[in-house]
Chains A and B, each alone.
Chain A
Amino acid sequence: MAALGRVSRLLLGAAAATPRSLPGRSMSAAAHEAGGARLWKLLTFVVALPGVGVCMLNCYLKAQHKHERPEFVPYAHLRIRTKPFPWGDGNKTLFHNPHVNALPTGYED
Chain B
Amino acid sequence: MAHQAHSYHMVDPSPWPIFGAASALLTTSGLAMWFHYNSTQLLIMGLTSMLLVMLQWWRDIVRESTFQGHHTLTVQKGLRYGMILFITSEAFFFLGFFWAFFHSSLVPTPELGGQWPPMGVKPLNPLEVPLLNTAILLASGVTVTWAHHSITEGNRKQAIHALTLTILLGFYFTALQATEYYEAPFSIADSVYGSTFFVATGFHGLHVIIGSSFLSTCLLRLIKFHFTSNHHFGFEAAAWYWHFVDVIWLFLYMTIYWWGS
Per-residue A-contact encoding for B227-253, CB less than 8 Å = 1, 0 else: 001100000000110010011000000
Q: Are B239 and A80 interface neighbours, CB within 8 A?
A: no
Q: Are A93 and B146 interface neighbours, CB within 8 A?
A: no
Interface pick from B2-10, B15-23, B47-55, B111-119: B111-119
Q: What is the minimal beta-carbon distance from A38 to any residue of chain B, in angstroms?
A: 8
Q: Are B182 and A80 interface neighbours, CB within 8 A?
A: no
CA distance A34 to B112 in the complex (A): 57
Per-residue A-contact encoding for B108-141, CB less than 8 Å = 1, 0 else: 0001110000111110010111011011101101
B80 CB contacts on chain A under 8 angstroms: 10-11, 14
Given A10-B80, A76-B111, A95-B181: A22 and B187 interface contact (C-beta under 8 Å): no
By CB atoms of chain B within 10 A, which of A34, A43, A44 has the most? A44
Interface pick from B57-65, B93-101, B188-196, B213-221: B188-196
Of all chain A residues, the one with the shortest Cβ separation from B125 is: A62
B: interface residue count bin: 35 or more
Q: Are A44 and B146 interface neighbours, CB within 8 A?
A: yes
Q: Are A11 and B153 interface neighbours, CB within 8 A?
A: no
Of all chain B residues, the one with the shortest Cβ separation from A8 is: B84
Of all chain B residues, the one with the shortest Cβ separation from A61 is: B128
Q: Are B230 and A17 interface neighbours, CB within 8 A?
A: yes
Given A22-B243, A59-B132, A95-B181: A78 and B142 interface contact (C-beta under 8 Å): no
Interface size, chain A (Cβ < 8 Å):
53
CA distance A101 to B125 in the complex (A): 17
Given A19-B149, A23-B243, A93-B188: A44 and B142 interface contact (C-beta under 8 Å): yes
Residue A5, interface by CB 8 Å: no
CA distance A77 to B152 in the complex (A): 55
Q: Which of A24, A43, A86, A100 touches B185 (beta carbons < 8 Å)?
A: A100
Given A14-B80, A44-B162: A37 and B155 interface contact (C-beta under 8 Å): yes
Q: Are B162 and A95 interface neighbours, CB within 8 A?
A: no
Residue B35, interface by CB 8 Å: yes
A17 CB contacts on chain B under 8 angstroms: 152, 229-230
B184 CB contacts on chain A under 8 angstroms: 95, 97, 100-101
Q: Are B76 and A14 interface neighbours, CB within 8 A?
A: yes
A43 CB contacts on chain B under 8 angstroms: 142, 146
B247 CB contacts on chain A under 8 angstroms: 24
Q: Are B153 and A101 interface neighbours, CB within 8 A?
A: no
What are 14 residue pairs bridging A and B, where the CB atoms are less than 8 Å apart in the complex? Answer: A18-B152, A22-B144, A23-B240, A24-B243, A36-B152, A40-B145, A44-B165, A51-B135, A52-B139, A58-B132, A59-B129, A77-B190, A79-B187, A101-B184
Knowing that A19-B149, A44-B139, A54-B135 touch, tell me 9 more A-B residue pairs with CB under 8 angstroms.
A22-B243, A24-B246, A40-B143, A40-B146, A44-B143, A58-B132, A77-B113, A93-B189, A101-B185
> Which residue numbers of B lie inside 8 Å of A, CB to CB?
34-35, 38, 73, 76-77, 80-81, 84, 111-113, 118-122, 125, 127-129, 131-132, 134-136, 138-139, 141-146, 148-150, 152-153, 155, 158, 162, 165, 169, 181-191, 229-230, 239-240, 243, 246-247
